[in-house]
Amino acid sequence: MATWITKLFRWILPEDPSYRRYSSGRPALVVPFRGFVSQGRAYLHGRVLRDRRIQVSPGDSLWRNLGNNYKRFGSLTIPNALIHITIGKNKLHLVSDNYGYFHYDGPLQYPLEPGNDAWTDFSLHLLGTLGEIFDYQCSGEVLAPCNARFGIVSDVDDTIIKSGITSLLKLKAVYLTLVKNAFGRQAFQSVADFYQALQKGPDGTCDNPVFYVSNGPWNLYDLLCDFFQLHELPKGPVFMRDFGFLGRRLWGKPSTHKADHIRRIITAYPDLPFVLIGDSGERDTDIYMEIARSFPGRILAIFIRDVEIPGRALRISRLIESAQGEIVMHIIKNYREAALFARQLGLIEPLPPDEFT
């Protein structure tokens, strides 16, 4: 089963950049991913692509969704493109890599002026490559937390969005990924209420930052942002993965992607404690426990949504017992239960429990 699916995605999404289907006739597009700023240092990233004109609506058919996802995964990337970024008074000059990505993780010479909320806009100007001129301009956003008591880091698949990662050979995950758009994907009940309550904090006046770390590919970034907006989840930076084709994720070796990004986030905000949210489907519990031990006193609580696989639930219960007195960790059946624990810990307002229906 895995063999033919892997071959299919290798044909659609070649790993080697020398096989990239490059089309100079299409207009360029810059996709700025949401970044963050802390202590005079900025983390900015994005991707330069050929615009494949992906259009999404609630009534899209299976075939329309399949076609759009083919376009997402068959990205026509633009390497060696020069991008000028203006963020506040700072000017940055970046070049995209072989897969069209650009990154900046470094200091800002001039501090950003405080705004009315935690988000600051910045501008991007795509000039072109050695062989082509573009002159494309757009804007992006960075998170600069203010009025925060703690931060929230959350997994996405089977924590927020129903993904079927634990299904046989992950076939349900493949199906949902290929034939559903943001309108057709489902969120877990009360997840948005719980995350909004955490963002507002124990007195309802905070603006706690929320970060999302997913093992999904950057190709689905627009779909994920649309999903968050549709389901009223707090806006936050999203960290995903790059891989040549879907089979590498489904049957490849696990990476340190999630742990690395969480460490970067926690290190960037040394004065903030954090709440970590995940599920029992894969390795979230192990990763979060390792993070909590690496940053003693920085993790206020860990919430693990039970995916209802008996063997995994038993294993996680034993892990929780072994960490008693060291790490505050709860395995939860739903987000109403999570809210009850969060209130006991003083993380959210003491509102009536029937608010989370």
Query: What is the average pLDDT across 222-233?
Result: 94
Same domain, 203 and 91: no
Give domain status of residue 220, yes or no: yes
pLDDT of residue 307: 87
Same domain, 290 and 197: yes
Asked which of 91, 120, 143 is the last residue of a domain, the reply is 143
Banded model confidence at residue 178, pLDDT cuts 50, 70, 90: confident
Same domain, 199 and 341: yes
* Phi, psi (degrees; rounded to nearest 5) at 243: -150, 155
b/e map 122-153, b = 16+ CB within 10 Å? bebebebbeeeebebeeebbbbbbeebbbbbb
The mean pLDDT value of the chain amounts to 84
Over residues 8-57, the pLDDT tens digits come to: 444 444 444 433 434 455 788 999 999 999 999 999 999 999 987 777 77
b/e map 2-29, b = 16+ CB within 10 Å? eeebbeebbeebeeeeeebeeeeeeebb
Structural domain boundaries, residue 338: 151-355
Number of domains within the chain:
2
Same domain, 81 and 171: no
Over residues 199-210, the pLDDT tens digits come to: 999 999 999 999
